[in-house]
Amino acid sequence: MSSLSLKEPKTYSLPSTADHASDLTQRKTSKFRRLIVFAGLTYFVLALTRHWSPVSELLGSKSVQNVKPDQHLCPQVNVLVPVVNRGLWESLGDVYRTEEFRLRAIGWLSGAVNVPTESYDGMDPVGVDPRWETFGKLHEYLDTAFPLVHSKLVLTKHNTYGLLYEWKGSDSSLKPLLLMAHQDVVPVDHNTVDQWTHPPYSGYYDGERLWGRGSNDDKSGLIGSLSAIETLLETGFQPKRTVLLSYGFDEEASGCEGAQTLAKDLLEKLGENSIALIVDEGVGFSEQYGTVFALPGVAEKGYLDTRIEVATTGGHSSVPPNHTSIGILSKFLVEIESHPHKAKLSRDDIFYSTLQCYAGHAKSLPSDLRKAIQHSVKSDKALRKLQRIAFQDLETLRLVSTTQAIDMIQGGVKSNALPEQAWAIVNHRISTLSSVEDAQAHDTELLKSLAKSFNLTFTAFGQHITDPAKPSKGRLTLSDAFGTSLQPAPKTPTSGDNALPYEILSGTIKATYNNHRQIEGDNIAVSPGMSTGNTDTRYYWKLTDHIFRYNHKDMKGGLLASNIHTVNENIEVDAFLEGITFFTTLILNTDESTSI
């Protein structure tokens, strides 16, 4: 496809709110420009992309003409553009397409990437561990880069480095809009620095992409939202609805120091259900079977690290028992891996909602697959057939089910001494239709018979499974390894009377897509989606029912396109600019709504 042809003005000037009408210009439809960017921490579309093509072969038909899309399966809202501030919105769209603004945005993001804000597992608290001090340098940069944000908005810092900005609206009766991002990045492995095309904290721009750790995850979200607000402030825009910006600094290490303290303060000041909607990093959009689909995350899996610990009598290794504690632990781990959690495709699952949207809007979905999805709405037999097809792909299965991964193991201190203790950590990502308690019960029940066969006293998650006073040859203990277990997130409403925030987000996505490409019509479908990981929103559940994990970026190319968390992380600048348009459109659209 050819590049988007843009007419660039000779001078760069931002419109004032008083001059909206005079800034309106007639637009011509341009050709699409291909985007190749990562959408945020998810395997979702990768699973679909790898799976559904062979699925059509399994179903025995390549026809895409016999069965038409059934749009009632996945109702769509209209493109939503600002009404009162339409002139401002269109004028800013023109500004965002100029070369001068492009270079300005590149400078904003590059400067943030230059600061290596790495967060690590197991860091000591702020004020004790000196590695936190790098965030102070980032704050100095932000203060310089976004002067209007720091002079017009109220900034409070929590736990030194957590940033909470308040852009106070004129109507206090309207619930605030909350935008989130995180300042920290995954550390760069010093052994791989020489493998980077450009130095990991260079923020190098090659004419198409900007390179460096955090360029995609998640300084693009941090700088994108700040860029949108700085630019709106330059026009003199004053919101009616308060806009809050909450930026944690240890999302890559579970957010205990950052997002948790920020959310606690917001809850104390504003109370429960006080926010209109929250948008944080997450799933983006991509083309699937002839239609572009956006997949804002409306749920998250739960989380549990089960520690399995075996304690037995030690002694000299020259007179060993039949099984040492390490051998017994190995038996338990094999049992765990041999009996994964059972998965079942349910009509209540987010993944099923996405399938419905494919059947409802994909232009070239194989007819037999479309039929299977359509029939499954009312037929349990068809639903089971669809499950058999879908679960042939391992990644799809993992998306729906509770997963388990043995990630850590340790035992013994000397080659000639019997190990008195051995332990392992099993990481669970818990299905949205399950719970922490279900995962704990699964592990407990699975190891009961083995514990009995080895004559071990068994305690699981604080409960005595066997009589602790009864003689035994050792102990088996299951526990929450780090005390960080998390229930699956509440689902954000996507239909019914309480779904207006989802509808506003959907219409905003459509408007952003069109504005960036200078096209008209309905060109992108929006479907409920979900990523496999957890975001900082885990601490914000009480503030609103309406939480969306969404990056407005093209997911084409998936993880390989942006190298998230690995060597050569990058972002296509065109995608970053579209993200700025998204934040601008969302702020203006929510500002005009009086129903949320």
In the annotated binding site for Zn(2+), the residues are: 182, 217, 252, 280, 565
* Among 182, 177, 168, 169, residue whose Cα is nearest residue 274: 177
Look up 272 and say whether it is catalytic: no
Give the bridge partners for 430, in sequence order: 302
**CB atoms closer than 10 angstroms to residue 158:** 21
Phi/psi at 243 (5° precision) = -115, 125
* Among 64, 43, 62, 46, residue whose Cα is nearest residue 54: 62
Name the 3-class secondary structure at 4.
coil
Instruction: Tokens 């549990």: give the residue.
Output: 304
Catalytic residue among 23, 90, 118, 184: 184
Q: How far is C-alpha 467 from the chain's CA centre?
A: 44
User: Contact at 8 Å (CB) between 445 and 460?
Assistant: no
User: Contact at 8 Å (CB) between 562 and 569?
Assistant: yes
* Among 519, 509, 518, 508, residue whose Cα is nearest residue 593: 508
Q: Which are the contacts of 497, defined by CB distance < 8 A and separation ≥ 6? A: none
Look up 393 and say whether it is catalytic: no
* Among 574, 432, 596, 575, residue whose Cα is nearest residue 505: 596
If residue 310 lies in a helix (H) or strand (E), which one and from where to where? strand 302-312
* Among 267, 292, 309, 246, residue whose Cα is nearest residue 535: 246
C-alpha 447/C-alpha 464 separation (Å) is: 13
User: Contact at 8 Å (CB) between 439 and 402?
Assistant: yes
Q: List the binding residues.
A: 182, 217, 252, 280, 565
User: Contact at 8 Å (CB) between 79 and 511?
Assistant: yes
Instruction: Tokens 């009995």: give the residue.
Output: 452
User: Contact at 8 Å (CB) between 212 and 567?
Assistant: no
- Return the structure tokens found at 169: 């609206």
Catalytic residue among 251, 281, 300, 309: 251
C-alpha 455/C-alpha 315 separation (Å) is: 18
Helix runs in 35-96, H state only = 44-58, 86-96
> Which positions are annotated as active-site residues?
184, 251
